[in-house]
Structure 1
């Protein structure tokens, strides 16, 4: 399946913003609270991928050509769909910016064949198998869920000479698989930041419930290892349940003054509604991570049911010029604000395109040799695909390029991880608000 957004065509104003017109050489770093934090992490409207997703059979092409096809496995349906569908908009904006310039001396067009993971490990593996074994793509982007990304890597990518770049997976477990790259940071720094936030608010006892997969396991382990107080409840829950009242009752029985929810939007919605009905929201302070930031949660819970909730979420450098250009282009095209997750998808597509530009041939082995190099800090900073491609076309090597993503400096390390850039959020008057930045 392929999603072409607005038939693969964006208006000229949007393309000019994406190509960095008026761009200044801003660099990323620690940011002061500029009042634009909501732009960095605010949820865009969902309910679509920016265009219809239709079936299209495509085969990967090979070197020296006028078109290239890579793959993408995204959560278009299932419990992770609120996160996956928004990534399609970031992907479509990236394709528009890249194809305005073209890849290589031929100005080749890049296209992306998209398959649905259905938010499950097995469906993700099936989708990846189709892309790699049937379509023959040498590189694919995916997925949202950490468990899905790991399952695809273990079953399909590892040893197959294929590059895999996750756009949204944050589990610390991915760090142990250096061949699995990602544009979103590892959750280890986020887990530590959550522990410091809750302890700093004066809580010495916390009850945790975490979604029973690689994401929940990894993040809860980091939190439990670093929290200076006592973790009095630390139990998993399954996805897709119609009720979590038993878990909530157990959390309430511990007397913990802080409850930490490491779960997804659908599950958090059920828990918040049941906890509100039982009055638990007045007896404990709620905390969460990035996956409890979703408009769907607020839209489907009562006013006041989550007020006071705090957490730590991935963020983007709101004062960086290329991020501002990305936000402006996104708003012009979709009449909505992007999340940092759309920015991660945008950057994943750019890194893939730069690897194709830099590689000697369009094979997984050749792309793998250069994909990290085009992000390394030793090179010349480039804030758009056009700037980065020009360095290569002027005779520069892949390591001469330091692509600065709209989500911040990518700088993929030996484990395939970028630096972490986070922000504290809270729920006030049933609205997400954003505060201080945290870097790792």
Structure 2
């Protein structure tokens, strides 16, 4: 008798109703399944493992506290190999076999573009860190948000940064990507307003040398080059720019101009003075400190911080919607991130507040998670660094 009462109280406290139907009880007791689909290998392989790791740390913490809706959370991690084809195969497995409620952390824009239709067709929620404008223009029916600023926001910021460095003639060198044309369009709009000209070319990122392309760019006599590729091709490009004697400023996204690139080049003089830029995490926040501890890094990258936020806000949306489905997440994701409720920066505090009947407003390691109707993040700060003596030094956060 006493053991029954204890079990019943525990079940009710965990949010599991004692119902007559065994099938319903089983369904409610089944674990909540979420997934990370990150680039564990390929050109994004520097970031994917850490992104998956931080997601696992959140799930572990939540499970130790009793889970969500009285159910344990299971995280399935798959490798998209930084390849649309591999991403599709992995997403099909996650959706059809694992039956996850949400997929978190897609990185390359080409992968997200390929995977998104599978998600909205199956009503699986998708959180991404991809930046191409075209992604939120897809007919995703609300089953997608991204914490990465879109191309317009990112390229506008970098254009303004180049102008602040005194650039007058900018040349962009970029492979063909989902954001190539929008990058050109935005730079062509922003740079002339600041008194600078802009020219550009698209290169084949599989080539072993870009000397022909570099010579073409240098004929325009640029004082700044935006090297807008990935790490592997940026290694080749920076070497060729150095060999060609380019003395102007070189900038690139931090996902390509990173420590891996510096190590692969192995010649400090080649990368000396090169700038990188990235959306800035919410440095100094409690959530940011949690990410640092979880991944063992003094300066976790923006994507890892964003995936930390993906897991937390999805778990809160599930709790608010009282259902572990993509539809429940879709219906509640904005309610728990920009609803004007109690400020929280982690799932545990948010889950307690929701259980007490309170509204919550989540802001995390990447900053405020406020989205427009298309799923785009409304704004964020950017971090600018410069390589000096083989090390990245902070220029400014703005």
Q: If the length of structure 1 is used for normalisation, what is the TM-score?
A: 0.78
Question: Cα–Cα, structure 1 residues 146 and 193, in superposed 2: closer, same or farther, change >3 Å?
Answer: same
Give the match for residue 92 of structure 2. 129
After superposition, what is the alpha-carbon deviation per residue over 1:133-173, rounded to whole angstroms, capped at 9, x for unaligned?
A: 2322221113110121112113x12332121111x212222
Alignment of 1:32-431 (within 5 A): 63-65=27-29, 67-106=31-70, 108-154=71-117, 156-166=118-128, 168-177=129-138, 179-228=143-192, 229-280=195-246, 282=247, 284-301=248-265, 302-331=267-296, 337-396=299-358, 400-418=359-377, 419-431=379-391
In structure 1, C-alpha distance between the alignment counterparts of 2:50 and 2:207, rounded to whole Å:
24
Q: In the alignment, is the contact (CA less than 8 A) between 1:287 and 1:310 conserved in 2?
A: yes
Q: In the alignment, is the contact (CA less than 8 A) between 2:283 and 2:365 conserved in 1?
A: no
Q: In the alignment, is the contact (CA less than 8 A) between 1:191 and 1:220 conserved in 2?
A: no
Shift of 1:296: 0.7
Shift of 1:336: 5.7
Give the match's secondary structure for 1:297.
helix
In structure 2, C-alpha distance between the alignment counterparts of 1:308 and 1:337, rounded to whole Å:
20
Give the match's secondary structure for 1:403.
strand
In structure 1, C-alpha distance between the alignment counterparts of 2:239 and 2:26, rounded to whole Å:
53
Shift of 1:308: 1.7
Question: Cα–Cα, structure 1 residues 221 and 290, in superposed 2: closer, same or farther, change >3 Å?
Answer: farther
In structure 1, C-alpha distance between the alignment counterparts of 2:90 and 2:204, rounded to whole Å:
23
Give 1 or 2: higher helix fraction. 2
Q: In the alignment, is the contact (CA less than 8 A) between 2:337 and 2:361 conserved in 1?
A: yes
Q: In the alignment, is the contact (CA less than 8 A) between 2:191 and 2:198 conserved in 1?
A: no
Give the match for residue 20 of structure 1. none
In structure 2, C-alpha distance between the alignment counterparts of 1:423 and 1:213, rounded to whole Å:
23
Question: Cα–Cα, structure 1 residues 62 and 434, in superposed 2: closer, same or farther, change >3 Å?
Answer: farther
After superposition, what is the alpha-carbon deviation per residue over 1:67-91, rounded to whole angstroms, capped at 9, x for unaligned?
A: 2112221111112212222312222
Q: In the alignment, is the contact (CA less than 8 A) between 2:231 and 2:255 conserved in 1?
A: yes
Q: In the alignment, is the contact (CA less than 8 A) between 1:75 and 1:84 conserved in 2?
A: yes
Give the match's secondary structure for 1:291.
coil
Question: Cα–Cα, structure 1 residues 288 and 93, in superposed 2: closer, same or farther, change >3 Å?
Answer: same
Q: In the alignment, is the contact (CA less than 8 A) between 1:74 and 1:116 conserved in 2?
A: yes
Please say which structure displays the higher CA radius of gyration: 2
Question: Cα–Cα, structure 1 residues 326 and 192, in superposed 2: closer, same or farther, change >3 Å?
Answer: same
Shift of 1:323: 1.6
Give the match's secondary structure for 2:32.
strand
Q: In the alignment, is the contact (CA less than 8 A) between 2:136 and 2:376 conserved in 1?
A: yes
Q: Please list every run of at least 4 consecutive aligned residues from structure 1 whose deviation after the TM superposition is greater than 6 angstroms.
A: none
Larger relative contact order, structure 1 or 2 (CA cutoff 8 Å, min sep 6): 1
Give the match's secondary structure for 1:159.
helix
Structure 1: tracts of 5 or more residues without a match: 1-60
Give the match's secondary structure for 2:384.
strand
Q: In the alignment, is the contact (CA less than 8 A) between 1:343 and 1:407 conserved in 2?
A: yes
In structure 1, C-alpha distance between the alignment counterparts of 2:181 and 2:256, rounded to whole Å:
16
Shift of 1:199: 1.8
Aligned residues: 367
Shift of 1:232: 4.4
Question: Cα–Cα, structure 1 residues 97 and 188, in superposed 2: closer, same or farther, change >3 Å?
Answer: farther
> Root-mean-square deviation (CA), in Å?
2.2
In structure 1, C-alpha distance between the alignment counterparts of 2:363 and 2:331, rounded to whole Å:
19
Give the match's secondary structure for 1:227.
helix
Question: Cα–Cα, structure 1 residues 183 and 310, in superposed 2: closer, same or farther, change >3 Å?
Answer: same
After superposition, what is the alpha-carbon deviation per residue over 1:185-241, rounded to whole angstroms, capped at 9, x for unaligned?
A: 223222112111212222221110123111444334322321124544312223343
Q: In the alignment, is the contact (CA less than 8 A) between 1:62 and 1:361 conserved in 2?
A: no
Structure 2: tracts of 5 or more residues without a match: 1-24
Q: In the alignment, is the contact (CA less than 8 A) between 2:108 and 2:130 conserved in 1?
A: yes
